[in-house]
Amino acid sequence: MPRPTILTRADFETAFDALRGAPLTLAVLDLDHFKSLNDALGHSEGDRVLRGVERLLSGSLPTGSVIGRIGGDEYATLLPETAAETALILFDEVIRHFHIHRDPQWPRGLGLSVGLAARPAHASTYDDLKRAADEAMIRAKREGRGRACIYVESKMVLKSNYYPKSQLERLAKLSGALGRTEASLLREALDDLIEKNRGEL
């Protein structure tokens, strides 16, 4: 069976759009302490590690998965018709395999951290789902690296302490109408506010 091609960022986003709202889990993977490896062993060794990660992903993920390299040492995968909990089990195995078969000369901390977010449970659009998966990946690093985490929606310490009931009711209604979480709508509004006032920063 042919292994999936490693897509560019643009082609990966196009592949997401082609799935047209179907349920899926987006995983974002980042190599822990990759800069340390490049600094200690050189970029050719770094490239060898990245090729190994690509082989591991393309050889381990189920048929129909989509894999993209979206940054220097950052990868993303789409797992259609796969719940985040199922993807968590899968990536726990990928991380374990990477750790077991690591080269002894690599820095001790070199590993994989993975963040997972599902559509429609966590978000619907690519940007919102990517933001959620990024947050989960950052939590994986914060909790010790070399692990996978599923996105957990932050309540943002808001609700009735800071907002009138009428606004919260309208936010909940908008969330339902758009098929997006309240937290993602509030993050979008905050992003817009920061962009609008960028000159003040």
Residues forming a β-bridge with 149: 115
Q: Is 184 left (phi over 0), alpha (psi -120 to 50) or beta?
A: alpha
pLDDT of residue 102: 84
Q: Which carries the bigger pLDDT value, residue 198 or residue 124?
A: 124
Q: Sorting pLDDT into bands at 50, 70 and 90, what band is 162?
A: low
Q: Sorting pLDDT into bands at 50, 70 and 90, what band is 3?
A: low
70-102 burial, b for 16+ CB within 10 Å, e for fewer?
Answer: beebbbbbbbbebbbeebbebbeebbeebeeee
Q: pLDDT tens digits for 70-110? A: 998 999 999 999 999 999 999 999 999 998 888 888 888 89
Q: pLDDT tens digits for 32-55? A: 989 888 888 899 999 999 999 999
pLDDT of residue 114: 97
* CB-CB contact of 95 with 146 (8 Å): yes
pLDDT of residue 201: 66
pLDDT of residue 118: 96
Q: pLDDT tens digits for 163-188? A: 677 888 888 888 778 777 676 777 77
